[in-house]
Amino acid sequence: MKFIVLKLLIIDFQNETGVDLFSENSADLFFSFNNPIFISILVLLCIIVLSYIVINKQFVPLIKEYELEKIKMENRHTSSMAQLAEAAPDPVLRANVEGEIIFVNNAGAKLGNDLIGKNIVDLFPDLIKIDFQNFIEESSEISFEYAINTRIFNLIIKGIPNINAVQIYFNDITKIKNYEEELTASKEKLAELSSHLQTILETERSRISKELHDGIGQTLSFLSLKLDSLRNNSGEENEKRKILEELNLSINNAVMELKNISYDLKPRMLEIYGLIPTLRLLVEQISSAENIKGTFEHFDVGNLKPRLEITIFRICQELLNNIIKHSKATIFSIQILQDSNSIKLIIDDNGIGFEKPRVNYNDSKLRGMGLISITERVEAFKGNISIDSSLGNGTVVVIEFPETESFG
């Protein structure tokens, strides 16, 4: 086909010029500057030669320089990565396309010795699904959490094409996880405390309502009846005097009941006389009313913050209430003492006790004993509480408040 086209071109040239290319002087005629084909070929050759010269002298050096600079940048990047990995406070591993570990920084000793040469899949079986070759080529990245011994790490795995390797970064998030768990526990504890306080409020409302209805309410009803009787009575003076005495006694009882209710809500004596006399009176009242022998001792207790005095009084009320309701004790004691660093409150009894090797404040029995609210009161002053009890050996509660939170 090419031969036919060439032949047609030659015939066309012969028809136009009248020159026989196959004659003896055909070569001279072809290479003549009068021949347009020769001129076209010559111009084309010149363009090709000039293009070759320009490309080799101008563009090729630029391309080589670019490629050389690219290699230098990749080497610098690799060197920087190696330096950063070496200086990282957390472990950094590097593995090749087969998953074989080829680099471990100094912090990698946390993961164990002799990691070089091991397969990364042996350490992290979940990575068996990864095709490391494609992972590196596509610059992929994944992350997940992993527990190693007692530490929790967030692992970031990156494919890095310019070093043809996978880099594994370990970020120790143990503290963050612990904080999250503590925060969750605190929220649960706060919700439980809120529920417990709401229960206490409702219980107090019910108690006060019952005392007002059964005590003062009945007394006032009795007074009303007696007054009506006195108003309608036209009998002897002795009978009227008897009614007045009954009225006076009922009024005194009503006043006493109001004082008791007021004392339970907020003891006035605590504001007037302070903590020590109020606690002594509390012990005497319980000993007299409940037929339990109680003793109270105090040692060098100075002026405390009013809020702390109320807190100690409420704690004593709660613990003594537990002794009355649950312990079956015949003897109890309260001691409060002060040293250079703290205020200590010790309450013990000889009751039945309870078996608790380690106190769990979520236990329903202990919740019923009010230990949640007691613990919260103590923690509000950055104090500590310890409970020592066993079956048949009574209970000892020791509460300590630091000096910085105690004195006014």
Q: What is the pLDDT of residues 102-136, one digit of tens each?
A: 888 877 777 777 888 888 888 888 887 888 888 88
Say if 81 falls within a structural domain.
no
Query: E strands along 300-365, which residues?
Result: 331-338, 342-349
Do 289 and 311 lie in one domain? The reply is yes
In the predicted model, what is the mean pLDDT of residues 306-320? 88
Amino acid letter, residue 51: S
Residue 360: band (very low, low, confident or very high) from pLDDT cuts 50, 70, 90: very low
Q: What confidence score (pLDDT) does residue 148 get?
A: 78
Query: E strands along 350-391, which residues?
Result: 384-389
Q: What confidence score (pLDDT) does residue 36 get?
A: 73
Say if 72 falls within a structural domain.
no
Residue 197's alpha-carbon distances to 190, 372, 376, 383, 404, in angstroms, are: 10, 10, 11, 20, 27
Residue 294: band (very low, low, confident or very high) from pLDDT cuts 50, 70, 90: very high
- Which of 123-137, 182-196, 231-245 is predicted with the least confidence, judged by mean pLDDT? 231-245
Do 303 and 250 lie in one domain? The reply is no
Say if 77 falls within a structural domain.
no
Do 337 and 284 lie in one domain? The reply is yes
Question: What's the chain's length in residues?
Answer: 408
Do 123 and 191 lie in one domain? The reply is no
Residue 263 has pLDDT above 80, yes or no: no
Of 265, 281, 297, the residue at which a domain comes to its end is 265
d(CA 178, CA 152): 10
Residues sharing a CB contact under 8 Å with residue 81, sequence separation 6 or more, in sequence order: 160, 163, 167
What is the residue-averaged pLDDT of the chain? 76
Q: What is the pLDDT of residues 67-84, one digit of tens each?
A: 777 766 665 655 565 556
Do 374 and 297 lie in one domain? The reply is yes
Of 122, 149, 172, the residue at which a domain comes to its end is 172
Q: What is the pLDDT of residues 47-65, one digit of tens each?
A: 888 877 777 777 777 777 7
Residue 216 has pLDDT above 70, yes or no: no
Do 94 and 211 lie in one domain? The reply is no
Do 99 and 117 lie in one domain? The reply is yes
In the predicted model, what is the mean pLDDT of residues 243-258? 73
Q: What is the pLDDT of residues 161-180, one digit of tens each?
A: 878 888 888 888 888 888 98
Residue scoring higher pLDDT (343 or 149): 343
In the predicted model, what is the mean pLDDT of residues 18-36? 59
Going by the DSSP 8-state scheme, the letter that residue 407 receives in this structure is: B
Q: What confidence score (pLDDT) does residue 345 get?
A: 94
Q: Which two tokens stand for residue 369?
A: 């004993």
In the predicted model, what is the mean pLDDT of residues 354-361? 57
Say if 74 falls within a structural domain.
no
d(CA 257, CA 36): 135
Say if 247 falls within a structural domain.
yes
**Number of structural domains the chain divides into:** 4
Do 243 and 306 lie in one domain? The reply is no
Do 272 and 408 lie in one domain? The reply is yes
d(CA 346, CA 334): 6
Residue 354, classed as helix, strand or coil, is coil
Q: Taking Cα atoms as reference points, which of 292, 252, 279, 373 lies closest to residue 335?
A: 279
Say if 82 falls within a structural domain.
no
Residue 407: band (very low, low, confident or very high) from pLDDT cuts 50, 70, 90: low
**Quick one: what percent of the chain has pLDDT higher than 70?**
72
Q: What confidence score (pLDDT) does residue 222 get?
A: 66
Do 339 and 308 lie in one domain? The reply is yes
Do 160 and 217 lie in one domain? The reply is no
d(CA 322, CA 261): 20
Q: What is the CATH number of the domain that holds 145?
A: 3.30.450.20
Residue 207's alpha-carbon distances to 51, 78, 116, 231, 264, in angstroms, are: 107, 77, 73, 35, 11
Of 265, 284, 313, the residue at which a domain comes to its end is 265
Going by the DSSP 8-state scheme, the letter that residue 362 receives in this structure is: T
- Which of 14-28, 83-97, 263-277 is predicted with the least confidence, judged by mean pLDDT? 14-28
Residue 306's alpha-carbon distances to 127, 243, 310, 347, 379, in angstroms, are: 62, 46, 6, 21, 17
- Which of 77-81, 364-368, 369-373, 403-407 is predicted with the least confidence, judged by mean pLDDT? 364-368
Q: What confidence score (pLDDT) does residue 82 get?
A: 52
Q: What is the CATH number of the domain that holds 377?
A: 3.30.565.10
Q: What confidence score (pLDDT) does residue 122 get?
A: 84
Q: What is the pLDDT of residues 80-96, one digit of tens each?
A: 655 565 556 778 888 88
Amino acid letter, residue 386: S
Work out the angle at residue 362's Cα, subtended by the Cα atoms of residues 360 and 365, and round it to the nearest 5 degrees. 85
> What single string gives the DSSP state of each residue in 209-245?
HHHIIIIIIHHHHHHHHHHHHHHH--S-HHHHHHHHH
Residue scoring higher pLDDT (279 or 114): 279
Residues sharing a CB contact under 8 Å with residue 148, sequence separation 6 or more, in sequence order: 110, 111
Q: What confidence score (pLDDT) does residue 358 get?
A: 46
Q: Are the C-beta atoms of residues 185 and 161 closer than 8 Å to each other?
A: no
Residues sharing a CB contact under 8 Å with residue 243, sequence separation 6 or more, in sequence order: 226, 229, 230, 233
Write out the residue range of the structural domain in which residue 274 sits.
268-408
Say if 71 falls within a structural domain.
no
Say if 44 falls within a structural domain.
yes
Do 277 and 392 lie in one domain? The reply is yes
